[in-house]
Amino acid sequence: MTPFELLQPRTLREAIALLGEASARPFSGGTAVMLMMKAGVLRPSRLVSLRNLSLEKIEVGSDGALRVGAMATLRALEKSAAVRAGWPAITRTLRTLSNVRVRNVATIGGHLAHGDPHTDLPPLLCVLGATVTVAGKDGERRVPVEKLYAGYLETTLRPGDLITQVQIPPMGTRRAVYLKCTTRSADDWPAVGVAVVFEPEKEEFSLVVSAATDKPTRVASVEAVDALPIESDLHGSAAYKKQLVRVYLKRAMDEARKPAH
Amino acid sequence: MRSEVRFRLNGQPVSAQVAPHESLVEVLQEAFGLYGTRESCGQGLCGCCTVLVDGVAVSGCLQLATLVHDKEVLTVENGAALDPVQQAFIEAGAFQCGFCTPGFILMTRQLLDEHPDPNDDQIRHYLSGNLCRCAAYPEIIEAVKLAGRKRRKS
Amino acid sequence: MKRASQPTETPQVGRSIPRLESWLKVTGRAEYVHNLRLPGMLYGKIFRSSVSHGRIKSIDTAAARALAGVHSVVTAEEVRAIVPDPYYGPAFHDQPVLAVDKVRYVGEPVAVVLASDPHVAEEAVHLISAEYEELPAVYDEVEAMTSKAIVHDVLKPAGTFPDLKHLQGKKNTNLALDFRLRRGSPEAALRSAHRVFEHRFRTQQVMHTPLEPLVSVAESTEDSLTIHTASQSPSFVRIEIARLLGWAENRVRVRVPFLGGGFGAKLYIKLEALVSVLSLLSKRPVKISLTMEEQFFTITKHASTFRIKSGVDATGRIVARECEVWWNGGAYADIGPRVTQKSGFTAPGPYDIEHVAIDSYALYTNLPPAGALRGFGIPQLVWAYESHTDLIARELGMDPVKFRRQNLLREGRPQATGTVLRDAETGKVLDRLATLLEWDKPFEKGTGPLRRGRGIAVGFKACVSNTSSLASVSINADGSCTVYCSTVDMGQGSDTAMAQIAAEVLRVPAESVRVVHSDTDVTPFDMATLGSRSLFLMGNAVRLAAEDAVQKINQLRKELGLAPDVPVPDIFKKKFGMRAGNVMGTASFNPPYTPPDANGLTENATPFWMVGGTGVEIEVDTETGRVRITRLINVADVGTPINPKIVETQLSGASIMQLGFTLFEKMQFDAAGQLRNASLAEYKIPGFLDLPDEIVNEAVSAEQKTGPFGAKGVGESATFGLSPAVANAIQDAVGVRLTELPMNPEAVFVKMQDQ
């Protein structure tokens, strides 16, 4: 690893200012950043820790929406009774997200900002219509999670931007299912991830595909999967991954149709 | 540029001079001569580097040592006598080469703290982030259940 | 057990005692070379080739040398100052300590940076650059036979192991060894056979990934060297390093504590020559500790292609079998030639076949070297012959178990080499598998998207020969006992087994025996800890050494005029005037062996056979091709177990490892020979969520009459049959036959689509 400066700001304003400099990289849990630095893919001269910014709160607002501070760990989210009660699909998804040690330190903000398509929460949050608050040099703005991703490991965040909160609308009568499949060992980065929401009152589905695509991608129907920009890689050929997407979308839709979700 | 990091290690206040890029595993080995925590895959996937920081299991190979300042760090070396988990691992023959064993011991303690009487499914999922190339997995499941019984007895 | 114990009449073998080193392993205090730090030590980090085949035009180390904190940068030029002829290897002296003139695979070590801070060394490696004149490369083992891309211009056979002495290196070829066996008249028999079947099978390159990555430390003086190394073959390391340096063997000391896994990766010379030379150059201790990623560029398992052809008569008897096996050895031979020959001669399988032809080829390619991996070529062979045998049975409309029973090679019958099968319970293993799988009962395969199937496979292995093990056993003045042997405990429980064997002879509790770890200054010669040989060979040596010690004690008793029931401490008091001293029993064990003749035939190919079989029930998700093993049955002939619990865990562990090789592990290269998945993030090994729902492990009732207390090795036996058992089960479930490993979901799915 190349030598770097480690900074631990105590306020959001301080953090944003520090990140304005070139080759400065934010991190919270640090798992993704450390991996990339050890692999030599990332060589920041400055690491800015976001751990002391007091952004961990998980709460349900009076409007019924879930508000999660960006520094809340995935483990805290997994164990939250409020989340289990109101958004059980999130709790279920977290159970097989990476491993316990990673979930103990990884934060939802870091998870979303990483931009890796082989992760589980982005497609689920997309299909749930979640939004994030992004704080930057020019102030705050709201961004739908769906608009956060530009491509493989590429987000629409600008240097100096930080996710500070995630908002998830109440489920209402909707039912959500996230399914993933791996093509090597059972515990592996997903080759395919599908997130589905079913609105029983309208008999309508919202479908989002990820992992096989380089960012979470909405599809109108199972038939539309053929047109998705899916490429062959270590997880499988494009044709096979499309087959998996179709199969898993159908399975997720069948699952979501069932009552008591 | 080294800086001093002060923390509690296995119940004792300690300090070390660490560089920003040094991982907790390196510091535990270099500065404190503790080798139960090991870097193997280097990617947080195998669990050989499991350490408890403020009561929470983390991958020591991905943990910057600087960031444990003022925190409580526990390794497998903590404790004078064998605890029920270690005893259960011995009785169940739940290790072969032993390289991954400390990580399993620490994770099993965490698992039993959260689920005192876990079923197979819970055990497999909780420990899915710990790898054993000798594949002592079936024996480890038995050891976890045995440890749970031992703990409940005492 | 801290106090010297009283004698005991309780049998010590056949006891499932906990491993002797249990406390050390559960407290994290077990010693591994991974942990070793010495004062003044330098860390070495390796700069590796980025091309798969090329002449080195230049290596630019200036920027690396200039980096603050770098001690030195070493290339082959500096190596040659210490070792003029810097080539090593157990079969061919073809592998350079650092690349000389040419690089032959992506990842080959070209230079080393030494620094006290490993991070600095790592940083400096990034500052090294090299220029290569690229040469045509070859990656496929069959293609390598006739390719114009020649990996080695000149070959130099090594004479270190007796069975490889006859190797003569050829020129302008990638063929390192060509093993040939002919028995009867196979061509004629095939021509006149009632029916002939021919198939082709392939396996992939995989890596052992022991969780303690390869690591060695060397410290030196002017004329002596101590190498602390994670090695399964300390005696060989000593011989080979002494040879490279031109030193007497007693100037080289090799120490091995516990290994954090071996599986065959930590054999012969891996990092030992490099750290030795670096220590002699720098006059400091030097440690090279590979990352998990670097292991993939160091040693792997042979990919293979196997063409197998059988002639069957009208009654379903196999009358002839023709085997042609191509082994992908990678860029350096390592122990590949032995795999080719010693496993090669079992290629027809455990079947009673009168006419046999085997041609087994060790090929060089421009890939990371292949060597020994648990099974030593047997799993690749069983993959082919048990798939082939199953296919024949189905073609003939015969039950696969019945067909195997009819053709099985049994006690007293000659194997393909002509060596008669003795103490190898092939029939018992097959029958027990069939019973445990309830083979004769109907099996519900299902009609929905999930289909079920079951399969069986049986394989066998000959213990490698000609090898020797020596041991010493000390009876100390207080009656406590110490075993000295160079067998390395890599998790297979050898310390415990040797203690139990010695204890059985010495009539003390096994827990009271101290087993001293490999140290070539102290522990006598052992061929190596590999191929499941140690329990039989070293076990016999330990038994004999213990008997020798007992005999010496009894002799002492007689000389001193003491009664047979006088306790040991009193003997020493009388002899030396105080309770001090010890009696050392020694022994060597080197079972007879007859090398094969020009047709590959011999009456004494091996001192013992291993038999291992697998039965599986599986579930196939026909929409995705994913295979799940619901029931896994491992049955083996391990003779009479010394420690039944450890035997069970060896069967289980081996099968789960083989499960990874069967269903998903694969080293994936691009068209330029670059490995794309060199890390546990992208090279996935089995974890908890891959376990079959149920695993049953059984050792059939058996006795290896020439083994220590009836025992023989077990470490590999459960690797033999798993892959073909799964393929056979897939055919049973969904009617398709896969002939290549791994059988990942896409491979299964595509096969189903093609039907």
Query: Can you give the CATH number for the domain in which A245 is found?
Result: 3.30.390.50
Q: For A29-38, what is the mean pLDDT?
A: 91
The residues facing C168 across adjacent strands are none
pLDDT at C164: 58
C121 and C217 part of one domain: yes
pLDDT at A259 over 90: no
pLDDT at C597: 92
CB contact under 8 A, B129 and A3: no
Asked whether residue C488 is assigned to any structural domain, the reply reads yes
Residue range(s) in chain B whose domain bears CATH number 3.10.20.30: 3-74
* Nearest Cα residue to B120 out of B102, B97, B142: B142
Nearest CA to CA, how far is B82 from chain C (Å)? 8
Q: What are C47's two structure tokens?
A: 């700069």
Got the DSSP string for C440-453? TS-----SSSEEEE
Residues with Cβ within 8 Å of residue B124, at least 6 apart in sequence: B141, C688, C689, C691
Q: What are B110's two structure tokens?
A: 């965490």
- Tell me how long chain C is: 755
Location of structure tokens 């801070």: C117
Q: What whole-number distance in Å separates Cα of residue C461 and Cα of residue C611?
A: 7
Q: Looking at the partner chain, which of B1, B110, B128 has a beta carbon nearest the beta carbon of A187? A: B128
Express as a percent the part of chain C with pLDDT over 70. Answer: 98
Residues with Cβ within 8 Å of residue A29, at least 6 apart in sequence: A73, A102, A105, A106, A107, A110
Q: What is the pLDDT of residues C203-259, one digit of tens each?
A: 999 999 999 999 999 999 999 999 999 999 999 999 999 999 999 999 999 999 999
A16 and A39 part of one domain: yes
Would you say B147 and B113 are in contact if contact means Cβ atoms under 8 Å apart? no
Q: What ipTM was estimated for this complex?
A: 0.98
Our count of domains for chain C comes to: 3
A11 and A42 part of one domain: yes
Q: What are C578's two structure tokens?
A: 């105080």
Q: Tell which CATH classification among 3.90.1300.10, 3.40.50.150, 1.10.150.110, 3.10.20.30 matches the domain B3-74.
A: 3.10.20.30
A198 and A239 part of one domain: yes
Residue range(s) in chain B whose domain bears CATH number 1.10.150.120: 84-153
pLDDT at C17: 97
Q: What is the pLDDT of residues C48-80, one digit of tens each?
A: 999 999 999 999 999 999 999 999 999 999 999
Q: For B8-17, what is the mean pLDDT?
A: 98
On average, the pLDDT of chain B sits at 97
> What does the DSSP 8-state code read for residue A200?
T
∠ CA A46-C118-C225, rounded to 5°: 175
Would you say B58 and C451 are in contact if contact means Cβ atoms under 8 Å apart? no
Q: E strand or H helix at B104, and its extent?
A: helix B101-114
Q: What is the pLDDT of residues C455-465, one digit of tens each?
A: 999 999 999 99
Query: Can you give the CATH number for the domain in which C451 is found?
Result: 3.30.365.10
Domain end among A48, A67, A83:
A48
pLDDT at B119: 97
Express as a percent the part of chain A with pLDDT over 90. Answer: 89
pLDDT at C396: 97
Would you say C414 and C420 are in contact if contact means Cβ atoms under 8 Å apart? yes
pLDDT at C579 over 70: yes
Q: Looking at the partner chain, which of B42, B47, B128 has a beta carbon nearest the beta carbon of A38? A: B42
Question: The domain containing residue C546 runs over which residues?
Answer: 22-30+467-589
Express as a percent the part of chain B with pLDDT over 70. Answer: 100
Q: 3-state SS of C515-549?
A: EECCECCCCCCECCCCCCCHHHHHHHHHHHHHHHH
Would you say C98 and C75 are in contact if contact means Cβ atoms under 8 Å apart? yes
pLDDT at C163: 57
CA-based torsion, C382, C383, C384, C387: positive or negative: positive
Asked whether residue A53 is assigned to any structural domain, the reply reads no
CATH superfamily name and code, B84-153: [2Fe-2S]-binding domain (1.10.150.120)
Please name the amino acid found at residue B66: T
Would you say C256 and C517 are in contact if contact means Cβ atoms under 8 Å apart? yes
Q: For C405-417, what is the mean pLDDT?
A: 97
Which residues in B lie closer than 8 A to residue C27 (C-beta atoms)?
36, 76-77, 82, 86
pLDDT at C742: 98
Please name the amino acid found at residue C577: G
Location of structure tokens 């036959």: C737
CB contact under 8 A, B43 and C681: yes
C661 and C517 part of one domain: no
Q: What is the pLDDT of residues C336-350, one digit of tens each?
A: 999 999 899 999 999
pTM exceeding 0.95: yes
pLDDT at C165: 60
pLDDT band at C161 (very low <50, low <70, confident <90, very high): low
CB contact under 8 A, C660 and A234: no
C573 and C476 part of one domain: yes
Domain end among C234, C269, C295:
C295
Query: Can you give the CATH number for the domain in which A77 is found?
Result: 3.30.465.10
3-state DSSP percent of chain C in helix, strand and coil, to 5: 30, 25, 45
Q: What whole-number distance in Å separates Cα of residue C663 and Cα of residue C680?
A: 16
Return residues 38-67 of B near C (CB < 8 Å). 38, 40-43, 45-46, 48
* Nearest Cα residue to C651 out of C432, C341, C385: C432
Residues with Cβ within 8 Å of residue C654, at least 6 apart in sequence: B135, C374, C634, C715, C716, C717, C718, C719
Got the DSSP string for B27-54? HHHHTT---SS--SSSSSSS-TTEEEET
Express as a percent the part of chain C with pLDDT over 90. Answer: 95
* Nearest Cα residue to C691 out of A121, B142, B29: B142
Got the DSSP string for C341-368? IIIGGGTT-SB--SEEEEEEEEE--SSS
Our count of domains for chain A comes to: 3
C665 and C739 part of one domain: yes
pLDDT band at A40 (very low <50, low <70, confident <90, very high): confident
- Quick check: C18 contacting B, CB < 8 Å? yes
Asked whether residue C15 is assigned to any structural domain, the reply reads no
A142 and A220 part of one domain: no
Determine the residue of chain A that is closest to B104 in CA distance. A101
Asked whether residue A97 is assigned to any structural domain, the reply reads yes
Which residues in C lie closer than 8 A to residue B19 (C-beta atoms)?
119
CA C331, C335, C339, C340: dihedral to nearest 10 degrees? Answer: 50
pLDDT band at C3 (very low <50, low <70, confident <90, very high): confident
Q: What is the pLDDT of residues B103-122, one digit of tens each?
A: 999 999 999 999 999 999 99
C607 and C622 part of one domain: yes
Would you say C524 and C518 are in contact if contact means Cβ atoms under 8 Å apart? no
pLDDT at A39: 87
pLDDT band at C755 (very low <50, low <70, confident <90, very high): confident
A67 and A157 part of one domain: yes
Q: What whole-number distance in Å separates Cα of residue C404 and Cα of residue A212?
A: 44
- Quick check: C689 contacting A, CB < 8 Å? yes
Residues with Cβ within 8 Å of residue C728, at least 6 apart in sequence: C386, C387, C390, C400, C455, C456, C457
pLDDT at A260 over 90: no
∠ CA C146-C151-C152, rounded to 5°: 110
Q: What are A93's two structure tokens?
A: 């998804």
Q: Looking at the partner chain, which of B19, B41, B130 has a beta carbon nearest the beta carbon of C292? A: B41
A189 and A253 part of one domain: yes
pLDDT at C11: 95
Asked whether residue C148 is assigned to any structural domain, the reply reads no
pLDDT at A21 over 80: no
Asked whether residue A36 is assigned to any structural domain, the reply reads yes
Asked whether residue C427 is assigned to any structural domain, the reply reads yes
- Quick check: A98 contacting B, CB < 8 Å? yes
Would you say A117 and A213 are in contact if contact means Cβ atoms under 8 Å apart? yes
C447 and C476 part of one domain: no
3 state SS of C207: coil
pLDDT at C196 over 70: yes
A153 and A180 part of one domain: no
Question: The domain containing residue A77 runs over which residues?
Answer: 58-168
Q: What is the pLDDT of residues C486-531, one digit of tens each?
A: 999 999 999 999 999 999 999 999 999 999 999 999 999 999 999 9
Asked whether residue C134 is assigned to any structural domain, the reply reads no
Please name the amino acid found at residue C152: H
pLDDT at C311: 98
Q: What is the pLDDT of residues A186-226, one digit of tens each?
A: 999 999 999 999 999 999 999 999 999 999 999 999 999 99
Q: For A53-63, what is the mean pLDDT?
A: 95
Which residues in B lie closer than 8 A to residue A100 (C-beta atoms)?
57, 107, 110, 126, 129
On average, the pLDDT of chain C sits at 96
